[in-house]
Amino acid sequence: MESTQKVNSTLSKIGTVIFNNNLNKNISDPFQKPAFLFLLILICFGFVMFSIYYYMKTYSDINIGYSFYGKDISTYIPLFEIKTDKLDKCIDRCKKDSLCQGITYNSDTNVCMGSESGKLRNEEDNHTAWVKKKNILDNILVKDNIILGFAKKQSYVSSTEMIPPINQGNFCFAFTIKIDDFYDKFGKWRHIFHKGTRLLNRNSDSNIINYQNWENIVSNIPEQCVGVWLAPFTNNLRIAFTTVTYESKPVTNEVHAFIQKCNDLTNECYMTNMKDNNQMSDGSVPRVRLSRNLEYIDGDLQNIPIGKYTNICINVNTDTVELYINSKINKVYQLNGIPEFNKEDLYVMNPVTFKGEIKNMIYLPNFADKKQIKEISKLK
């Protein structure tokens, strides 16, 4: 009996070894399983076809042996010009810029040139053109008011691109920002953009704005209409204006600097320092003198998301400022004076600046209505 059990145990072990060997053989040799091999080939073929489809869908407007320059070559100025070793990087740069309608890529020099508008022309085979299928701004009311399509480094916009406000103190600036890392240049005020105080050489390191104290910015960059800054230690945005103030104008202080107001119809709430009380006058006419000051919105725009595109709208109506985030009103603030729209250029991302991107910067020479603000936010 005992010997029979030993024999059975031995046969069981031998069977297990033979089964495992056969199993391993079948797994390691897929050709022994035609169905498995066919499924594997089918999956690989599917991935290849999807890759080809995605590439053709994304870059179906590639034209080898063509260029896409301005319609008048003699006056053509590229929207941007960069060097890159890959065509898809050139195309992606154009896609980020709402003003860009197409690119020309030279594979010999690795130069990528973006064009706001242009015409396809026959070139050598080292040239490749790509043109957007459709202008995404065709149905956007603010199409003609974009002054900067995209910026990831120091840039500027000429004052000639911005006509003065129709009515004094009535204008709107909007832009989309993505902050990649707010710890970059931590401890310094980081320049996003300002229209005002002139920088003598736009591309010189002598223009470095390296300040920790806001008072230094007030002293050295007094002209800002508008100015936007990233705070030294937080992901808050400071909005600044150079304003003209009547010195004899009575100024009242509320017990609470801000109160919350809500719209019962839209359920939107915002903070405001605007007074509801009516000031009484004794009928006398005080002597009026003008003074100019650099004001900013108390409390700033707080907690701007990191790593996400966020649309900011600064809407000004004389001494009242409305701030919107992604088309939703965030704050209403009353300035002491009226913003003075200067005649200087607009400087973007001058060092020390933040790590990230700005795109779709819009200027309107008027106070924007709700419809325009919603259309602006669609560009995000």
| Tens digit of each residue's pLDDT (9 = 90 or more) over 304-314 | 999 999 999 99
Helices (H), 29-172: 34-58, 87-96
pLDDT given for residue 90 in this prediction? 93
pLDDT given for residue 274 in this prediction? 64
For residues 372 and 286, give the distance between their C-alpha atoms in angstroms, rounded to a whole number.
Answer: 40
Q: For the chain, what percent of residues have pLDDT higher than 90?
A: 51
- Does pTM surpass 0.75? no
For residues 72 and 62, give the distance between their C-alpha atoms in angstroms, rounded to a whole number.
Answer: 22
Higher pLDDT, 362 or 11: 362
Measure Cα distances from 107 to 62, 78, 80, 110, 133 in Å. 14, 18, 17, 5, 23
Q: Which of 17-21, 189-193, 282-286, 328-332 has the lowest mean pLDDT?
A: 17-21
Give per-residue burial for 50-80: e unless 16+ CB within 10 Å, then b: eeeeeeeeeeeebbeebbbbbeeeeeeebbb
Q: Which of 4-13, 142-151, 175-184 has the lowest mean pLDDT?
A: 4-13
Rounded mean pLDDT of the chain?
81
In three-state secondary structure terms, 282 is coil
Question: Domains of the chain, with CATH numbers?
Answer: 62-131 (3.50.4.10), 143-275+287-377 (2.60.120.200)
pLDDT given for residue 110 in this prediction? 95
Q: Which residues contact 302 (CB under 8 A, 6 or more apart)?
A: 234, 236
For residues 113 and 134, give the distance between their C-alpha atoms in angstroms, rounded to a whole number.
Answer: 19
Give the pLDDT band of residue 12 (cuts 50, 70, 90).
Answer: low
The answer to whether 292 and 167 have CB atoms below 8 angstroms apart is no
For residues 75 and 183, give the distance between their C-alpha atoms in angstroms, rounded to a whole number.
Answer: 43
The answer to whether 366 and 172 have CB atoms below 8 angstroms apart is yes
- Give pLDDT tens digits for 111-124: 999 998 889 999 99
pLDDT given for residue 56 in this prediction? 46
pLDDT at 245 over 70: yes
- Give pLDDT tens digits for 72-96: 888 898 988 999 999 999 998 888 8
Q: What is the CA radius of gyration of the chain?
A: 31
The answer to whether 163 and 145 have CB atoms below 8 angstroms apart is no
- Give pLDDT tens digits for 263-277: 777 777 777 766 555
- Give pLDDT tens digits for 26-71: 555 555 667 766 676 777 766 656 554 444 444 457 899 999 998 8
pLDDT at 252 over 50: no
Q: Which residue, chain included where needed, has tokens 């000429």?
A: 158
- Give pLDDT tens digits for 218-231: 999 999 999 999 99
